[in-house]
Structure 1
Amino acid sequence: MKDILSTGMQRRKLLKAGGSLALFAAARSLLPGGAYAAAAGPETTKATLGFIALTDSAPLIVAKEKGLFAKYGMPDVEVVKQASWGTTRDNLVLGSQGNGIDGAHILTPMPYLISTGKVTQNNQPLPMVILARLNLDAQGISVAASYKDLRVGTDAGVLKEAFAKKKAEGAPAKAAMTFPGGTHDLWIRYWLAAGGIDPDKDLETIVVPPPQMVANMKVGTMDCFCVGEPWNAQLVNQGIGYTALNTAELWANHPEKSFALRADWVEKNPLATKALLMAVLEAQQWADDMANKDELATIVGKRAWFNVPTTDIAGRLKGDYDYGLGRVDTASPHLMKFWRDNASYPFQSHEAWFLTENIRWGKFAPDTDVKALVSKVNREDIWRDAAKALGVAASDIPASTSRGPETFFDGKVFDPDSPQTYLASLDIKRFV
């Protein structure tokens, strides 16, 4: 395939590479496998996509900066910064016709929470579709410098006594995450609960937008937080706290952000949907190439995107982790993956885990039909079609929608074919 990335492609060959239900059905019937075989151009040249200043938004930024949206017939795509995940949700509800956005770099559970009306005004469902995963791994859980003597790591249990003391004194500890039911919420809850700390009873969880995490930790708003990069690295660089763990230490090669669009936009613009997705996939390949990491850090660090020094971005992008307190890991296998290890493919089994964890914490009812809901929101079939059109090798396209059973750092196993068995194995949860 001849394109602006042709030289890098040779290297990348080495990489493993109700009413709402009716709308979902309509979108699916319009877009069966192979629907993109037509040679016609996109129905529109424009889409408005949101992003949060997090390193895993890089594929959208690269697709814009490198002209990849234009390459696939979408020269008028706008990639627009969002202040918070709540803002992303609200702008998705508005849509571009209401001066909002058509799609976004997004926390993977959010399209499910939005599609079912769990987090929208008046609980009004807005059908969404997930088209790709944007990355695997490399979020962080960070702890305030006041806990440096505990040298907190994967075992959150070392905080239990300190948190109990704060609660007894009438000033409960606070754990910050970025959106209720989102990935960061689920990572920090899993970590705390595995250490015997109930995130709803033993401390308070609070919502803080990613770019505001470091400033809030500096003034003592929270005791620990979970967020993506570059904010964990910036915390360490400013001496305000330290990284307890990379979330890949909880679950190696775990799914993280997704690329999602409003279902009605996909229904109206199937060819433009394919064009957007092809641009994002090609950007993921470029971003995953180690030879491009310094340039990637420079691009996303620009004022227009993150407005963050490249020194806060480049190291962890390349797998060089300064956790603080003297711990430095180089060439870490837990670096952010954009393409290798099937990072881009949206495994339905992974979304089943996110839904199951949100059942655990009361966001969804225990009798939720996880498989049925995933089949409505997850459009891995569109991903396959776009990947084939892009020339992705058949060996780099997963044969199954499931990656199979997943094992976590504490020995728990999630089998996507038996989510209830997984839930029964968990000691701390919001239902019996």
Structure 2
Amino acid sequence: MEKTDTRAANLSRRSIIKGAAALGAAGTIGALVPLRARAQGTALETKAAKLGFIALTDAAPLFVADEKGFFKKHGMTEVEVAKQSSWGATRDNLVLGSKASGIDGAHILTPMPYLITTGATTANNVQVPINILARLNLGGQCISVADEYKALKVGLDAKEFGKALLAKRLKTGKPVNAAMTFPGGTHDMWMRYWMAANGVDPNRDINTITVPPPQMVANMKVGSMDTFCVCEPWNLQLIHQKIGYTALTTSELWMNHPEKAFAMRADYVQANPNATKALLKAIMEAQMFCEDPKNRAEVAEICSRRRWINAPLEDIVDRLKGDFDYGTGRVEKNSKFQMRYWADNASYPYQSHDLWFLTENQRWGYLPPNLDTKSLIAKVNREDIWRTAAKELGVADKDIPKSTSRGIEKFFDGKVFDPANPKKYLDSLSIKYIKSA
């Protein structure tokens, strides 16, 4: 298996907790002056921004904002949207910032701004404040399984799959691997949740490894992993290359779950509040464009281009339209589990969703249990900027959430997450690795 993000993959939980524990009390990160507290004119402070992305279809709003001229429409005429080789590279380039040849913002796994802000996943645990400005999409990820297990037709119920993995491990004496894209990221959380809900301990029964999204199919082909979790087009490409099949879409685990975010370095947001809002408006308009069914074929074609995903259109278009052939005989047209870019409040960054990701990162020992999550979310999540941008775009009041919480969330295995009581949720989980404070 290729290991392009060795530092992230090998990061010890001890160093993670050491770096994050400093946030156990409020105010340990330098106070950020809120945008809402500063009097500003309407002129753009800059017309430039450098944004990163990974070759995935949930980055489509950034591709569309560039290709369809939405950035320019809002005065941001010098925006560079740059491909990143891995989520580790995205992290490192955000830490650098554009002034040091890095990036100002990115299409990013929702937990990463928190892991970077706390220093939990950065070199030497350096804390670099990052702001989440929008959610880019809901759902749209998949868990795929190698054709070696085709007869099992693995789905939400993975108990037989777990037995097969154990048998393989005992027979070969070698670890069986589940691949995700970044420790503590969304794909890591979906894979762990699915396995643990089926009684498979993701720390003991299987080896969880880090592989950049564009390298998933190639690594599955050479037998580097037995299952992986990633966005499109890599799950459908796996089927087209007759290497594996789709076990489930992640919205089957948690309907319309939050996924990627649009995030910027907090110092960029502070220095350029109007430019930040202009970038956000452009991306929000692109999300509306991506959501419209009549635009989906064009969005797929844009995604397939060399400068973006650089993959065959046939690997992209069906699932972008919401049509899923799981590769097992199961076929769903216009699936309710398809990715949402704007519908169902997909763009609004609910703070309650950020709290779930922090809670799951605590569950698996990536973040300490005494973390002041309320204070941290207030620093990172800038839903206030989203609301302002939405109003200025003319988004109807009914499409602007009245609360920062989507309320109680329910999962496929019957578990319930109440944002008002995350401890009760944690206590209900049988497999967890919470570290001592």
TM-score tier by shorter-chain length is over 0.9
Given that residues 27 and 264 in structure 1 are in contact (C-alpha distance below 8 angstroms), is that contact kept between their aligned partners in structure 2? Answer: no
The change in CA–CA distance for 1:318 and 1:33 in structure 2 (over 3 A counts) is farther
Q: Does 1:359 align with 2:362?
A: yes
Letter in 1 for 2:47: T
Whole-angstrom CA distance in 2 between matches of 1:67 and 1:35: 29
Q: Does 1:107 align with 2:109?
A: yes
Displacement of 1:35 in angstroms is 5.8
Which of 74, 92, 95 is 2:94 aligned to? Answer: 92
Q: Which runs of 5+ in 1 are unaligned?
A: 1-17
Displacement of 1:132 in angstroms is 0.1
Whole-angstrom CA distance in 2 between matches of 1:377 and 1:306: 29
Given that residues 137 and 256 in structure 1 are in contact (C-alpha distance below 8 angstroms), is that contact kept between their aligned partners in structure 2? Answer: yes
Cα displacement string for residues 214-262 of structure 1 (whole angstroms, at most 9, x for unaligned residues): 0110110000000011111111111110000000000001000000000
Letter in 1 for 2:139: D
Q: Any residues of structure 2 matched to 1:100-139 within 5 Å, and which? A: 100-139=102-141
| Residue in 1 that maps onto 2:6 | none
Whole-angstrom CA distance in 2 between matches of 1:428 and 1:380: 32
Given that residues 106 and 259 in structure 1 are in contact (C-alpha distance below 8 angstroms), is that contact kept between their aligned partners in structure 2? Answer: yes
Whole-angstrom CA distance in 2 between matches of 1:107 and 1:303: 23
Letter in 2 for 1:344: S
The percent of aligned pairs where both chains have the same amino acid is 62
SS of the residue corresponding to residue 111 of structure 1 reads: helix
Whole-angstrom CA distance in 2 between matches of 1:34 and 1:308: 44
Whole-angstrom CA distance in 2 between matches of 1:122 and 1:261: 21
Given that residues 24 and 263 in structure 1 are in contact (C-alpha distance below 8 angstroms), is that contact kept between their aligned partners in structure 2? Answer: no
Which of 316, 321, 324 is 1:321 aligned to? Answer: 324
Q: Does 1:32 align with 2:25?
A: no
SS of the residue corresponding to residue 363 of structure 1 reads: coil
Letter in 2 for 1:32: R
Q: Any residues of structure 2 matched to 1:64-213 within 5 Å, and which? A: 64-169=66-171, 170-213=173-216
Cα displacement string for residues 57-85 of structure 1 (whole angstroms, at most 9, x for unaligned residues): 01111101111111111010000000000
Which of 283, 288, 291 is 1:288 aligned to? Answer: 291
Displacement of 1:27 in angstroms is 3.3
Letter in 2 for 1:25: A
| Residue in 1 that maps onto 2:5 | none
The change in CA–CA distance for 1:258 and 1:24 in structure 2 (over 3 A counts) is farther
Displacement of 1:292 in angstroms is 0.2
The change in CA–CA distance for 1:35 and 1:210 in structure 2 (over 3 A counts) is farther
| Residue in 2 that maps onto 1:303 | 306
SS of the residue corresponding to residue 366 of structure 2 reads: coil
Whole-angstrom CA distance in 2 between matches of 1:65 and 1:34: 33
Given that residues 45 and 73 in structure 1 are in contact (C-alpha distance below 8 angstroms), is that contact kept between their aligned partners in structure 2? Answer: yes
Q: Does 1:233 align with 2:236?
A: yes
Whole-angstrom CA distance in 2 between matches of 1:199 and 1:308: 31
SS of the residue corresponding to residue 105 of structure 1 reads: strand
SS of the residue corresponding to residue 26 of structure 1 reads: coil
Whole-angstrom CA distance in 1 between matches of 2:177 and 2:271: 44
Displacement of 1:23 in angstroms is 6.4
Displacement of 1:168 in angstroms is 2.2
Whole-angstrom CA distance in 2 between matches of 1:400 and 1:208: 36
TM-score w.r.t. length of structure 1: 0.93
Displacement of 1:378 in angstroms is 0.4
Deviates more, 1:164-173 or 1:68-77: 164-173
Letter in 2 for 1:270: P
Whole-angstrom CA distance in 2 between matches of 1:23 and 1:281: 29
The change in CA–CA distance for 1:379 and 1:239 in structure 2 (over 3 A counts) is same
SS of the residue corresponding to residue 411 of structure 1 reads: coil
Cα displacement string for residues 180-222 of structure 1 (whole angstroms, at most 9, x for unaligned residues): 0000000000000000000000010000000000011011000
SS of the residue corresponding to residue 263 of structure 2 reads: strand
TM-score w.r.t. length of structure 2: 0.92
Whole-angstrom CA distance in 2 between matches of 1:91 and 1:27: 24
Letter in 2 for 1:387: A
Displacement of 1:33 in angstroms is 7.2
Whole-angstrom CA distance in 1 between matches of 2:160 and 2:248: 14
| Residue in 2 that maps onto 1:392 | 395
Displacement of 1:430 in angstroms is 0.5
| Residue in 1 that maps onto 2:420 | 417
Whole-angstrom CA distance in 2 between matches of 1:92 and 1:21: 22
The change in CA–CA distance for 1:372 and 1:222 in structure 2 (over 3 A counts) is same
Given that residues 368 and 434 in structure 2 are in contact (C-alpha distance below 8 angstroms), is that contact kept between their aligned partners in structure 1? Answer: no
Given that residues 34 and 385 in structure 1 are in contact (C-alpha distance below 8 angstroms), is that contact kept between their aligned partners in structure 2? Answer: no
Given that residues 33 and 381 in structure 1 are in contact (C-alpha distance below 8 angstroms), is that contact kept between their aligned partners in structure 2? Answer: no
Given that residues 362 and 430 in structure 1 are in contact (C-alpha distance below 8 angstroms), is that contact kept between their aligned partners in structure 2? Answer: yes
Given that residues 41 and 73 in structure 1 are in contact (C-alpha distance below 8 angstroms), is that contact kept between their aligned partners in structure 2? Answer: no
Q: Does 1:243 align with 2:249?
A: no
Displacement of 1:166 in angstroms is 2.5
Letter in 1 for 2:130: M
Q: Which runs of 5+ in 2 are unaligned?
A: 1-21
Given that residues 133 and 264 in structure 2 are in contact (C-alpha distance below 8 angstroms), is that contact kept between their aligned partners in structure 1? Answer: yes
Displacement of 1:421 in angstroms is 0.2
Given that residues 214 and 234 in structure 2 are in contact (C-alpha distance below 8 angstroms), is that contact kept between their aligned partners in structure 1? Answer: yes
Whole-angstrom CA distance in 2 between matches of 1:81 and 1:110: 17
Deviates more, 1:19-28 or 1:325-334: 19-28
Given that residues 32 and 379 in structure 2 are in contact (C-alpha distance below 8 angstroms), is that contact kept between their aligned partners in structure 1? Answer: no
Displacement of 1:34 in angstroms is 9.2
| Residue in 1 that maps onto 2:18 | none
Whole-angstrom CA distance in 1 between matches of 2:274 and 2:326: 44
